[in-house]
Amino acid sequence: MNFDDLFGHIGQHTVDGLSKGAIYALIALGYTLVYGVLRLINFAHSEVFMVGTFAVLGLWTAFGVENNPPIGQAVLLLVLGLIVAGLASGGTALAIERIAYRPLRRKNAPPLIFLITAIGLSLVLVEIFGLVLPKLLGEAVPSMFGRARIILGMPTIIESKTLFTVFGTSVTNIQVIVFVAAVAMMALLDWFINRTRYGRGVRAVAQNPETAALMGVNQERVIMLIFVLGGIMAGAAALLWSMRFGFTQSSIGFVLGLKAFTAAVLGGIGNLRGALVGGLFLGIVEVYGATLFASNWEDVIAFVVLVVVLMFRPTGILGESLGRARA
């Protein structure tokens, strides 16, 4: 165990963990919104994020973007990337709800059927992007079993540079952009849910769907809204991932989705602010664990932490449901 590296560069590892955890937190918001209203674990949400990364890649490829464009062009590409990824991920999330979940709700299907459907949708999207896109791109189609999907690189829109140094800890421009943008998006969503008329409708349905319907709240519109909002957050996470890590593949959402779900549970699933806390906490713990042990233990550490936290705090760190959120 490398305690010297961990404590000798703990500031640097914390900054790395915060920027990584911010992406987890954005994805976790989708799980939290859907669970808070429907008590449904939407495991297909990880592929909503994946679609967003391909949307960003497709946009930048269509524009013929090369590495390190001028700053004005870079800003325009990021804004367009956010819009396109948000539309693609939000549209995918809405399609999943309308095509798959809505018919099941109308038939009063048991929760297990929803869970199986979510897993099935996730696999379908992975296979579509893993098998169809390589053909379109002229790549050899990998086998369905035993081989990794192709990894697609992305151009560097903003070159990573040290912005400032605090007590020996270097903070890059990419880390600042990722963290600030993620927190700003989450703050905007929190304000929307807690301070707007539509947000009150979401909280009313989350707390008591029957009473909300009697008060005139359209439950179907609320459900559509939460899927779209969760998809937009996943799209924003896809853009930030593309900036920070610069690659995508059809299976990219699998482990990231599990970690985002872990972050939602750690913070208190159904709690928007809990998703932020859980995501940042998980990101820091992962980086600390990878430094202390080895990078290939990163995923193991994330889920061990989940088990340990839930043993002592089953409702998560904050544990407040969406329906009980304060106005």
Pick left, alpha or beta for residue 266 (phi over 0 → left; psi -120 to 50 → alpha; otherwise beta): alpha
pLDDT for res 88: 96
Pairwise CA distance, residues 234 & 54, whole Å: 12
pTM: 0.90
- In the prediction, which pLDDT does 185 show? 95
Does 299 fall in a domain?
yes
Give pLDDT, residue 148.
42
Rounded CA-CA distance 52/166 in Å is: 34
Distance CA 86, CA 51 (A): 10
Q: Beta-strand (E) ranges in the chain?
A: 152-153, 162-166, 169-172, 247-248
- Rounded CA-CA distance 254/264 in Å is 15
Q: What is the per-residue pLDDT for 289?
A: 87
> Which residue in 255, 254, 253, 277 sits closest to 265, CA to CA?
277
Q: Is residue 147 part of a domain?
A: yes
**Count of structural domains, the chain:** 1
- Return the closest-CA partner of residue 32 out of 237, 245, 206: 206
CA atoms within a 13 Å half-sphere pointing along the CA-CB vector of 18: 17
For residue 304, being part of any structural domain is answered with yes
Q: Which residues of 63-73 are buried (b: 16+ CB within 10 A; e: fewer)?
A: eebeeebeeee
Residue partners of 257: CB distance under 8 A and separation at least 6? 27, 43, 45, 46, 47, 49, 122
Q: Would you state the structure tokens that stand for residue 130, as one six-digit string?
A: 């893993």
Whether residue 9 lies inside any domain: the answer is no
Whole-angstrom distance, CA of residue 41 vs CA of residue 111:
9
pLDDT at 134: 62
Rounded-to-integer distance, Cα 130 and Cα 141, Å: 8
Residue 137's pLDDT is 57
Question: Could you tell me the residue range of the domain that residue 268 belongs to?
Answer: 18-312
Please report, in angstroms and rounded to a whole number, the separation of the first and last CA atoms in the chain. 46
- The rounded distance, in Å, linking the Cα atoms of 308 and 322 is 24
Does any domain span residue 8? no
Residue 5 lies in a domain: no
Q: Specify the CATH number for the domain of residue 255.
A: 1.10.3470
Residue (of 197, 327, 306, 275) closest to 33 by Cα position: 275
> Which three-class secondary structure state does DSSP give residue 164?
strand
Contact 54, 153 (CB under 8 A): no
Own/partner pairs, 73-79, CB within 8 angstroms, 24+ separation: 74/157, 74/158, 77/157, 78/157, 78/158, 78/239, 78/243
Domain assignment present for residue 149? The answer is: yes
Q: Considering the domain boundaries, does residue 252 fall inside one?
A: yes
Name, in order, each residue with C-beta under 8 angstroms of 321's C-beta and a sequence gap of 6 or more: 36, 206, 207, 268, 270, 271
Residue-level pLDDT, tens digit, the chain, 327 residues: 777 777 778 889 999 999 999 999 999 999 999 999 988 999 999 999 999 999 999 999 888 888 889 999 999 999 999 999 999 999 999 999 999 999 999 999 998 999 999 999 999 999 888 876 666 555 544 444 334 467 888 999 999 998 888 888 899 999 999 999 999 999 999 999 999 999 999 999 998 888 998 888 999 999 999 999 999 999 999 999 999 999 998 889 988 998 999 999 989 888 899 999 999 999 999 998 888 887 777 888 878 888 888 788 888 888 766 655 443
Q: Mapping DSSP to helix (H, G, I), strand (E, B) and coil, where does residue 326 land?
A: coil
What pLDDT, on the 0 to 100 scale, is given for residue 114? Answer: 92
